[in-house]
Amino acid sequence: VASSAKSVERLMAELRRLPGVGERTAERLAYHLLAGTRKEARDLAQAILDACERVRACGVCFHLDESDPCRFCADAGRDGTVLLVVEDPRDVHAFEAAGFRGRYHVLQGRIAPLEGIGPTDLTLAALARRVAAGGIREVCVATSPDLEGEATAAHVRELLEGKTVAVTRIARGIPAGASIRHAQMTILADALAGRRPL
């Protein structure tokens, strides 16, 4: 699209850096933003700048919030003895919606050698310091049950080995509402292996 104006080319290039946005989508979004009164475009730009300005990683748990410590670390009513270790701030919202009321630790990613992400790229040292500071009874690792999530969980287990803290892992099994008949073999194997007294 060499015939676009320079500033439109640059806008498309910036949009293309977003996850899941290819050349066609970038072009569609750019011209969508430039159509009409552009109020929507300016509002979006301002929302990006405002969020960048106001939101920071919590100094305790690394969740993204407008306050530091974040709303969850500042909330005295929560159970500080249980720490839920998650990959991403979005996972905090998911577990919050699921009813968890302990404290969080956001790793800011997961160990993914193929993407060049190693243990030192995560907030693991801070996690070790939080546990060493005491008061925590259980660390539950809530990374995704896939290859990288399991590798990250194994790393957390090793990191906290010998510490006086229980390290647990969220349950794998058949998801609530799912049909046994349509579940994958590996999911059924997990559900069997994790069976509990009825």
Which residues does residue 83 pair with via DSSP β-bridges, in sequence order? 103, 139
- Name the one range near a second copy by CB under 8 A: 45-53, 76-84, 148-156, 169-177: 45-53
Count CA atoms closer than 13 A to 9's CA, side-chain side: 6
Q: If binding is defined by CB under 8 A, does position 17 make contact with a second copy? A: yes
- The residue length of the chain stands at 198
Q: Which of residues 82-141 bind a second copy (CB under 8 A)?
A: 88-90, 92-93, 96-97, 108
> Which of 22, 59, 71, 80 lies at the binding interface for a second copy (CB under 8 A)?
71
- State how far the Cα of 179 lies from the Cα of 134, in Å rounded to an integer: 43
Shortest spacing between CB 36 and a second copy, in angstroms? 9
Q: If binding is defined by CB under 8 A, does position 32 make contact with a second copy? A: yes
- State how far the Cα of 107 lies from the Cα of 130, in Å rounded to an integer: 13
Q: H or E element: which one contains 193?
A: helix 185-193
Hey, what are 97's tokens? 């919606």
| Contacting residues toward a second copy, per CB under 8 A | 1, 3-8, 10-11, 13-15, 17-20, 25, 27-35, 38, 40-55, 64-66, 71, 88-90, 92-93, 96-97, 108
